Structure 1
Amino acid sequence: MAPSPTSTRSPESPAPPSTPSPTEVIIHVYDLLPPSRLSSLLWLLSCPLVHTSLHLPPSPHELAFGGHPHPHLTGVYTSPVLQPPPGATHRTTLHLGQTHLQPWELASLIEEAAAAFKGTEYNLLTRNCNHFTDHVARRLTGRGLPGWCNRAAAVGLALPCLVPGEWVRVPVA
């Protein structure tokens, strides 16, 4: 079939590079407290104790960050989508937007974040799962987590007498 008169490429020339399909950037928020009046009050005050994870469909996994005592190993891990951490309950899902990165660019960004978030550097107040999720979400969409996601850590940092020391220290190997 002959090219149309308005066609600008010959039948032999390669197709232009395709734009990747957008990937949704989803944050799952888990309440770390059991359902209780305290948990409800903290949510009402926009200061809940939460764990967040990042989901990039169609992946069946979400990415999160946690601490461990093994030097030089990332603290970034995967878990099945909507599988809460032990003792936690799924509370809400946030749709932060979309990214148009190529699959290899997404993989590279995740590898860079995993290298930057070592398990031994985890700190409940200054470098926790919400910091990780915010970091990656900002790089993917330009938007971070809502302030309430990590407000409890900010309060704990401002008022350290409220946080037991063993909650902040990473276990020693």
Structure 2
Amino acid sequence: VEHAPAEVVLHVYNLRHFKRIRFANAVMRPLGAGIYHAAVEVYGVEYSYGSCENDTGVFERLPGKDERHRHRQAKVMGTTRFSQAEVSTVIDRLKCEWQGEDYDVLRRNCQHFAQALCTELGVGSLPRWVVRLAPVAARIDDMRRMGKEMRKSRGAKGNIAGDLYRGAVLVGKERRGVHVEEPSGMCDCCRGVRATCNGDWCC
């Protein structure tokens, strides 16, 4: 049966929650950048992915009405030739594949799901400005955790900023090719931050 192509819309929200995301946004805000919640609308239903226990992490809402975040922008991604029934079949499969307990705010999140759904619907990739910083934020978080582990191994107290600095120094030393116990060079922190943001390093 012939049917008209259905419009696919990406809904972008400013995040209100998640301490780790707020910290990453604070680091990147001077660059005019941020990390966003993303959801996909098709046939009048908005689909997104989030954390929950013992069930699918795929949620259905009215378009642009996710009360957890502040709606920022709606962008038409294109059209899909899938019928409403075919889209429902795709969503049912994704609900099984995207369980709420597998959610990770930096590594398996709403943006990854939105990209997967857009690919299924044949409308291509999410805009770069929406997704470009999530991998950077994940690497920044990895770097912070490295610094925290180093601090704890030495029985020292500290805070997030200190852990981030220690992690950046560790990455900088790794890039410089010296042992972690070697004295820190003046440029190790900058070298570590640059490698992390450029994607030249991952843990």
Fold shared per TM-score above 0.5 = yes
Q: 2:96 aligns with which of 115, 118, 124?
A: 115
The equivalences for 1:1-173 within 5 A come to 18-33=1-16, 42=29, 45=32, 47-57=33-43, 59=44, 61-70=45-54, 73-86=55-68, 88-160=69-141, 161=143
Q: 1:28, 1:93 within 8 Å by CA — same for their partners in 2?
A: yes
**Cα RMSD (Å):** 2.5
How many angstroms does 1:84 deviate by? 3.1
Aligned AA for 1:90? H
Task: Give the whole-Å Cα distance in 2 for the aligned partners of 1:82 and 1:56.
Answer: 12
2:196 aligned residue: none
Distance of 1:80 and 1:142 partners within structure 2: 21
Please report how far the alpha carbon of residue 152 of structure 1 lies from its aligned counterpart in structure 2 after TM superposition: 3.0
Unaligned residue ranges in structure 2 (runs of 5+) = 18-24, 149-203
Kindly state the Cα deviation for residue 114 of structure 1 after the two structures are TM-superposed.
Answer: 1.1
In 2, distance between residues paired with 1:162 and 1:90? 30
Q: Against the structure 1 CA distance between its residues 107 and 42, is the aligned structure 2 distance closer, same or farther, given a 3 Å change threshold? A: same
TM superposition shift of 1:69: 2.4
**1:100/1:138 CA distance change after superposition, 3 Å:** same
**Structure of greater relative contact order (alpha carbons < 8 Å, 6+ residues apart):** 1
User: Which residue identity is paired with 1:50?
Assistant: Y
Q: Secondary structure at the match of 1:68?
A: coil
Q: Quote the Cα distance in structure 1 between the aligned partners of 2:58 and 2:13.
A: 17
Report percent identity of matched pairs.
Answer: 26
TM-score normalized by the length of structure 2: 0.60
Number of equivalences:
137
Secondary structure of the 1:109 match is helix
Distance in structure 1 (CA, Å) of the matches to 2:71 and 2:144: 25
Aligned partners of 1:68 and 1:75 also within 8 Å: yes
1:13-42: CA deviations, max 9, x gaps?
Answer: xxxxx32211000011001159xxx78x74
Structure 1 runs not aligned, ≥5 long? 1-17, 165-173
TM-score of the aligned structures, taking structure 1 as reference length? 0.70
Whether the 8 Å contact between 1:42 and 1:49 is mirrored in structure 2 is: no
